[in-house]
Amino acid sequence: MHIHLSGDRQRVLVLLILLFFFLCYSFYLYTNLPVKRIKQDRDAAAGKLSWQKYNCNACHQVYGLGGYLGPDLTNVYSVRGPAYIEAFLKNGTGIMPDFHLKQGEIKNLLGFFRQLNASGKSDPKTFMLSYEGTIEQK
Ligand code: HEC
């Protein structure tokens, strides 16, 4: 059987086929994104507010975004550990200010760093580019 389509109809048909595949692909991507769901944690939520209140982001980065005077703190919790972080927050250093944080604020900030650390890795060297252009982390 030979189907003859006029130029316009052919174009519409091609467009519909492309649209169909575009929608299928979009649907596939959005339902398969490697997004982790992390339980909301009370300490972490309060710690995030302290992080904003003291504008830690002015000097530090989270996932590479922020100021560049201090280091990226996305994975500081697993790299340095809570005792090290607490000592830093209590005393500051020559360039890192001492904010005279209350013990509760320090506890909350530690919760924030714990949750942040669990959300992924910030070092691009550890990223794996997958076939469809998304990024996977080990
Ligand atoms: C004025 C800039 C500045 C601000 C604001 C600042 N920091 Fe820092 N921070 C630094 C610098 C610089 C260092 C590295 C200091 C050093 O090694 O002596 C640092 C180091 C740290 C470290 C240790 C990181 C590591 O791997 O050694 C932690 C944890 C930290 N800061 C947390 C915070 C938190 C939490 C806040 C907000 C309450 C904050 N910082 C606000 C500048 C800042």
Alpha helix positions (H), 2-81? 7-32, 42-53, 76-80
**What was the pLDDT predicted at 120?**
87
> What's the structural domain count of the chain?
2
On whether both 60 and 120 belong to a single domain, the answer is yes
C-beta of residue 19 within 8 angstroms of C-beta of residue 122: no
Residues 78 and 75: their CA atoms lie apart, in Å, by 6
**What was the pLDDT predicted at 7?**
86
Q: pLDDT tens, position by position, for the chain (138 residues)?
A: 677 778 899 999 999 999 999 999 999 988 888 777 777 789 999 999 999 999 999 999 999 999 999 999 999 999 999 999 999 999 999 999 999 999 999 999 999 999 999 988 898 888 888 888 888 877
**What was the pLDDT predicted at 20?**
98
Residue ranges lining ligand 1, Cβ < 6 Å: 54-56, 58-60, 69-71, 73, 76, 80, 85, 88-89, 93, 95-97, 99, 109
On whether both 96 and 56 belong to a single domain, the answer is yes
**What was the pLDDT predicted at 128?**
87
On whether both 49 and 110 belong to a single domain, the answer is yes
On whether both 9 and 64 belong to a single domain, the answer is no
On whether both 57 and 120 belong to a single domain, the answer is yes
For ligand 1, atom 41, name the residue with the nearest CA: 56
On whether both 122 and 65 belong to a single domain, the answer is yes
Residues 81 and 27: their CA atoms lie apart, in Å, by 40
On whether both 12 and 57 belong to a single domain, the answer is no
On whether both 16 and 48 belong to a single domain, the answer is no
Tokens of 82: 């809570």
Q: Does any domain span residue 135?
A: no
On whether both 77 and 113 belong to a single domain, the answer is yes
Q: Does any domain span residue 134?
A: no
Q: Read off the CATH number of the domain in which 118 is found.
A: 1.10.760.10
Tokens of 74: 């996305």
Rg (CA), the chain: 24
**What was the pLDDT predicted at 104?**
97
- For residue 138, the CA-to-ligand 1 centroid distance in Å is 27
Show the domain range for 15: 1-32
How many CA atoms lie within 13 Å of 17's alpha carbon, on the beta-carbon side? 6
Q: Does any domain span residue 4?
A: yes
